[in-house]
């Protein structure tokens, strides 16, 4: 009977510790405010990797308790990259914008579209350069 009582007390103790840990994480995230991360991805024929990149960004933002905004600048992809991004636009917790890069749009217009909002951290990743994908969390090149 005494070993059973020990297991019950241990279970209650662990539950109390978990409640305190989760409550402190909640208070810390509330103090920080709801930060937003803005990733700007430049793509060209990345159908094999695009879904994984977007899911990795979404998971990372959820784990950190931050909201996520992703702007994809597509340079005339000939594969299913755009179709994959269209399906991913409905993913919860992520605001996804797809913009096609053309010769008519100049640098000033592209910077205005992708400029970060106030209180937002932005990261520019050119996926046409293979080493740039390593900047995405959970992606190893």
Query: Which regions in the chain score pLDDT beneath 70?
Result: 29-34, 92, 102-119, 141
Percent of the chain as helix, strand, coil, to the nearest 5: 50, 20, 30
Q: In the prediction, which pLDDT does 8 show?
A: 94
Structural domain total, the chain: 2
Q: In the prediction, which pLDDT does 107 show?
A: 54
Residue range(s) defining the domain that contains residue 50: 35-135
pTM (two decimals) = 0.67
**Same domain? 48 vs 108:** yes
Cα 25 to its chain centre, rounded Å, is 20
What CATH number did the domain enclosing 46 receive? 3.90.550.10
Q: In the prediction, which pLDDT does 112 show?
A: 64
């Amino acid at each position: 009977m005494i070993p059973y009582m020990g297991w019950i007390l241990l279970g209650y103790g662990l539950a109390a510790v978990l409640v305190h840990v989760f409550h402190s994480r909640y208070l810390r995230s509330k103090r920080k405010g709801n930060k937003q991360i803005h990733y700007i991805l430049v793509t060209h024929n990345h159908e094999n990797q695009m879904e994984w990149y977007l899911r990795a960004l979404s998971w990372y933002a959820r784990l950190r308790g931050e909201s996520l905004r992703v702007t994809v600048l597509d340079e005339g992809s000939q594969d299913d990259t755009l179709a994959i991004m269209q399906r991913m636009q409905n993913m919860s917790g992520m605001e996804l914008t797809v913009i096609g890069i053309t010769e008519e749009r100049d640098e000033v217009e592209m910077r205005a579209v992708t400029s970060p909002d106030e209180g937002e951290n932005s990261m520019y990743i050119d996926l046409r350069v293979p080493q740039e994908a390593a900047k995405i969390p959970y992606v190893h090149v």
